[in-house]
Amino acid sequence: MATRPSWRGHLSLSLVHCPVALYNAIAPAGDVHFHLINPQTRHRVRTLTVDAQTEDVLDRSELLKGYEFAKGKYVTLTQAEIDAVRLESTKTIDIEKFVPLESIDRLYWDHPYFLVPDGKIALQPFAVIRAAMEHAGQIAIGRVSMAQRERLVALEARGKGIIATTLRSHDEVRDAKEFFADIAAPRTDKSMVAVARKIMQQLEAGFDPKTFKDRYEDALRELIKRKRKGEDVVVAEEPETETNVIDLMAALQASLDKRGSDRAPPQRRTASQQRGTGRRTATRHAATRSSHPRRARR
């Protein structure tokens, strides 16, 4: 395993414990990142830590961390004081409860990790805990302390390992009612809803993340490639904003018609396929006649 773990500790289910490691389940390293460059010297710009009042340049290692409890007033803490705060869950994921998957609102799901046994001694207890979770058919909830912050974590058996996903706290998630309460609720035309549903049916498919391409990232990489070759880059024009009032039913019907026309036409059968179909049809008719004897003539 080439990558380094994001966290090491123990997984605990009552009196069963085992060493485990958390590995980041996503790899944002593929994103395009930029540095700030001085246009005159073409040198990279370095960020300095400056006193907001005296404008003196300071060394970050000498700084304190401050919590602003009133305008311009701070309680300061050293890193040693922060490190002295120890939680029981600092190096342990202690499973506290099991809950149905559907009981966790999607708004609370945050960051996924792969949870794996850490060392040969952990294999047996890890397998026992994972199997128990799998048989429960529910999501295990525990706590983990990462980057000096305690988070709830949802554990789900998958394959030979466990997916551990940190959960946002209640205070982090905004109430949807604040944003949805003022939305007017006009009466919906049943015929329009029916057409919209047909469009949705034409778009129904299984989810395959491999088909998703970040077109913006791809465009940035293409731009960088062209710039490296010395090509002139033309600034794209802003798309015109649609301001005309549209006939909603006409737009729905046009969308439905377009989706229908975009479908691939049915393939014509070859002569051999047609002959094969004819033989199968004749066989079915013969079987039907044999299974239903004719009535005797009176």
pLDDT of residue 271 exceeding 70, the answer is no
Binned at pLDDT 50, 70 and 90, residue 217 comes out as: confident
**Mean pLDDT score across all residues of the chain:** 80
Cβ-defined contacts of 68-76 (< 8 Å, 24+): none
Give the distance, in angstroms, between the CA of residue 101 and the centroid of all CA atoms in the same chain: 16
When comparing pLDDT for 214 and 152, which is higher?
Answer: 152
Residues near 130 by beta carbon (within 8 Å), at least 6 away in sequence: 157, 160, 161, 162
pLDDT at 243 over 70: no
Mind listing the pLDDT tens digit for each residue in 63-84? 889 999 999 899 998 888 877 7
pLDDT band at residue 47 using 50, 70 and 90 as cut-offs: confident
**pTM assigned to the model:** 0.66
Q: How far apart are CA 232 and CA 83, in angstroms?
A: 53
Averaged pLDDT, 180-186:
86
Instruction: Give me the helix-helix angle, 190-203 and 248-262, nearest 10°.
Output: 30
CA distance readout (Å), 263 to 90, 148, 202, 267: 56, 54, 9, 12
The length of the chain in residues reads: 298
Q: Tell which residue, 106, 236, 101, 105, has the closest CA to residue 155.
A: 101
8 Å CB contact between 113 and 26: no
> Which whole number is the average pLDDT over 26-55?
86
Res 233 pLDDT > 70: no
> Burial code of 101-138, b = ≥16 C-beta within 10 A, e = fewer?
eeebeeebeebebbbbbbeeebeebbeebbeebeeeee
pLDDT at 213 over 50: yes
Q: Is 26 left (phi over 0), alpha (psi -120 to 50) or beta?
A: beta
Residue ranges of the domains in the chain? Answer: 7-26+85-167
pLDDT band at 298 (very low <50, low <70, confident <90, very high): very low
Token pair 């706290």 is found at 169
Which residue would you say has higher pLDDT here, 119 or 259?
119
Classify domain 7-26+85-167 by CATH architecture: Beta Barrel (2.40)
Rounded Cα distance, 87 and 246, in Å:
59
